[in-house]
Chain A
Amino acid sequence: MKSAPFEHHEPDTVDEAVSLLESLDDPTILAGGQSLVPMLRFRLANPDVVVDINGIDSLDYLDEGDGHLRLGALARHADVEDSDLIDEKYGSFADAAPLVADPQIRNRGTVVGSVAQADPKGDWGSILLAHEGEVIATGPDGDRAIPADEFFLLPYDTTLGEQELITEIRVPEPAPTEGSAYHKLKRKTGDYAMAGVGVRLVFDDDGVIESAGIGMTAVDITNARATDAEEHLEGERPSPDLFATAGELAAEQSNPESDEHGGADYKERMVDVLTQRALSDAAERAGTVTVQRRVTQ
């Protein structure tokens, strides 16, 4: 099926994009188009106006600054996959990038577009939650930073205003004793997650977990945090038993639905397994003692 007709605007700057969003009727932002184009084709989205941000060069970056890892709205999945900075310091991002879709889609799709899409099966939302990151939005009233926890509302629905553009997502630069990881279960290469878990662990100098962040993919109506498991981990030393209980708590807090790929019970069990695996990778990357996995690969 063809998209319904629309007007195509290609602003060169963020200001121009924002004034288009403000002045035009029923605009939709087009980034990588890897989710929006199919939605337009199936007429799940019928905007009169498409504001294509691919020409705004100032949004094409992946760097560190202000104490954060910053991904501009045009940072593609493939940019994350190919980045040395990510490989060196951001385990969860490095784990996730090659697991998102397939090479062609990673060449076009953006991390920010994926977060904006707010598909509960999207991988990046969980990582943003685990890292307690922020979404930076620009609108007619200027910039604002939306904490990840306050961003996702419902499937495909967020707290972003209709006239706002996300310019960037950011996560804090890691402390020296921090590690992160992402594990994903999918039916075959290129598929969305049946379940996924992103983890970030920060240790104090004595090897005690100071802070824990866990984000879950495809097992609730949005990407969701496993707060019970996080609380259980904080103030403790890593051990197989600790991680096993955290896995159980994450599974209990998840709300997967049964579908053709697996029953809800099975997916909960997978949340448990993936959480333990991600925790043990994160702990290892933080440079603390290797925690023997209870659940083997």
Chain B
Amino acid sequence: MTDEREITLTVNGTEHTIEVEPRRLLVHAIREDLDMTGTHIGCDTGNCGACTVLKDGEPIKSCLMFAAQADGAEILTVEGMEDLPEADDIHPLQEGFREEHGLQCGYCTPGMLMAGKALLDEHPDPDEETIRDAISGNLCRCTGYQNIVRSIEYAAEELENRAAADGGAVAADGATDGGPAASPEGGHAAPEFGGDADTFCGREDCCGGPDGADPFDRDALLDDAGDADDTADADAGTDANDRGDTK
């Protein structure tokens, strides 16, 4: 057997000394030894990005590195976001994901936030392509990415506004731009779920569903059930197109 070894990890500004076997992965050290379960394990093979953390400022997949290799390193995990200098209550990126509905199940979110943080540190004003590239190592099985891109855009704008405010200028409130008109009656196109006054259902923690319907209104939901087939068809169409693209 191999000996355990003492290593020091500075995680979110706090120094931790732990004993690890050489085969201990960084992600397991973070989750199990340090009990910070915000960093997720999705695939265990380097494909999904749910385990992304910043090591000395750089995004890496913590399932592809041994803890001993991070000895002496500074690690940032999702738990540390709210304590960063640019955070108020929570970090502007987290705010963005909330405002723009950048998550559904939330499994990918910690990794997305870390990838987003690394991006904004380097490119404070990224275009869509740059954002998509920065999150290309992070899989999301729920959102279709659109709202994640918007969430990061929101954070970039918010950070810019704050920087302007700090510089003495009056900050514009990015969230109150004129939103899209309410979606047509019964229509499910609803392109923006940005928490705008027009489509907002009024419930604080609403799912932000397509037409801002009350998620607990069973009758309304049953009424909508007839649409399910249409949705399935649309999905199948998209899939076929995707496949066509590669050929």
Contacts and interface: CB of A to CB of B under 8 A. Distances in A.
Contact of B49 (A8, A38, A50, A104): A104
A101 B59 CA distance: 14
Contacts of B146: none
B58, B60, B64: most-surrounded residue (chain A CB, <10 A): B64
Contact of A37 (B65, B118, B133): B65
Contact of B66 (A1, A8, A261): A8
Contact of B46 (A50, A103, A105, A266): A105
A189 interface: yes
Interface residues of A, number: 33
A237 B44 CA distance: 50
A34 B64 contact: yes
Contacts of A101: 137
Given A4-B23, A105-B61, A33 B137 contact: no
B246 interface: yes
Given A5-B2, A33-B69, A266-B247, A105 B64 contact: yes
Contact of B44 (A41, A50, A104): A41
Interface in B116-149: 118, 133-134, 136-138
Given A4-B23, A52-B69, A103-B133, A38 B45 contact: yes
Interface residues of B, number: 32
Given A8-B2, A38-B45, A38-B46, A102 B65 contact: no
Given A33-B69, A37-B66, A103 B45 contact: no
Nearest to B132: A189
B136 A102 contact: yes
Given A6-B2, A37-B65, A107 B22 contact: no
Interface in A166-220: 185, 187, 189-190, 194
Interface string A93-116: 000001001111101100000000
A2 B27 CA distance: 12
Contact of B2 (A7, A108, A189): A7
A3 interface: yes
Contacts of A158: none
B6 interface: no
Most buried by B among A33, A50, A103: A103
B68 interface: yes
B23 A5 contact: yes
A33 B1 contact: no
Contacts of B23: 2-6, 40
Contacts, number: 83
A126 B66 CA distance: 30
Contacts of B136: 102-103, 189-190
Contacts of B5: 8
A5 B4 CA distance: 11
A54 interface: yes
A13 to B, nearest CB: 18
B77 interface: no
Nearest to A102: B137
Contact of B69 (A7, A54, A185): A54
Interface string B42-61: 00111101001000001111
Interface in A58-109: 98, 101-105, 107-108
Nearest to A194: B246
Contacts of B224: none
Nearest to B51: A104
B52 A104 contact: yes
B131 to A, nearest CB: 12
B11 interface: no
Nearest to B114: A104
Contacts of A187: 246
Given A2-B23, A6-B2, A190 B44 contact: no
B134 A103 contact: yes
A41 to B, nearest CB: 7
Contacts of B69: 33, 52, 54
The 10 closest A-B pairs by CB, nearest first: A102-B137, A8-B22, A3-B23, A189-B136, A5-B2, A104-B137, A104-B61, A37-B64, A107-B58, A104-B59
Given A5-B23, A37-B66, 7 more contacts: A34-B46, A37-B46, A102-B138, A104-B49, A104-B61, A104-B137, A261-B246
30 contacts: A2-B23, A3-B23, A4-B23, A8-B22, A34-B64, A37-B25, A37-B64, A37-B66, A38-B46, A38-B64, A40-B23, A52-B69, A102-B137, A102-B138, A103-B59, A103-B137, A104-B49, A104-B59, A104-B137, A105-B46, A105-B61, A105-B137, A107-B59, A108-B61, A108-B64, A108-B65, A189-B133, A189-B136, A190-B47, A262-B246
